[in-house]
Structure 1
Amino acid sequence: MKASRAAFNEIGERFSVFPFSIRSLRSTLSRLGVPELVNRGLLTPYATLRTPRPTEPVAHFKATILLTPQGPLRITLPQSMPFVHSKYTVVEGTTAAAALAPQNEVRAVKEPKGLPDIAGEVVFGRKPVDVEVTMDLS
């Protein structure tokens, strides 16, 4: 559909891989194309979190865990929030509880090596003019 192509192009240009609200799309045509993108698996909707009483706050925490041959590896920092309490917990003694434990070490990502230096000042959001990039591929 024309609407879904317009929505896909606008989302790719403005938001890339980051979450956004449908209200932030500029045109009504783009908003009409979003359901087809969801049905085709190109967009993943976030569930709206609600409670029975509208005055109760809702907290939602996520973690990224890689499943490696050596075992699960958590790559996000633990979120300790002492003011958040829940009646739901992860069962102790399970693999999920071990991976989510705060004492697990988060490995730091190393800086990439061999990237070329860019001469001149770079301004994000604009294409550099009169900048020459050289790369040694040997």
Structure 2
Amino acid sequence: MKKQSFSYHLTVPASAIDVLGHVNNVVYLDWVQIAASKHWNAATAAYFKDEDPDEERLGIHKMAWVVMDHHIKYKAEAFEGDEIVVTTFVKNFTAATSVRHTEIRRKGEDKILVSAITNWCLLKMPEGRPMRVPKEVLELF
């Protein structure tokens, strides 16, 4: 299985800053989830070509990933105005689950600010029951 990574960039807004003057831990977690959604949409655009491209998550009416747990390590701080790169990839799949790794860095730096491993379960929609990850989807990651 190929492990294609996906990255997105952002500038830390004032709304992300907590009372200690740096990015709040919950904001990092939000960025981890945004990265997963953006990666999913980018990787599955051709697979869901008949879906509304303006959907927040492509294919949401057929299948949806839900978080089983997050393991997150906060290693360094980020501040308002910092340019951030969030990079993610799916390390492996089982029948109905995936393990996604995410790293958050300042643009142009190797130092990891936050790393996360998230375990996801794929649900068949609208039933909301676990489903096997389709082979065609596996091949996209």
Tell whether the structures are fold-level matches, with TM greater than 0.5.
no
TM-score (norm 2): 0.21
RCO higher in 1 or 2 (8 Å CA, sep ≥ 6)? 2
Which structure shows the higher helix fraction?
1
As a proportion of its length, which structure holds more strand?
2
Structure-1-length-normalised TM-score? 0.22
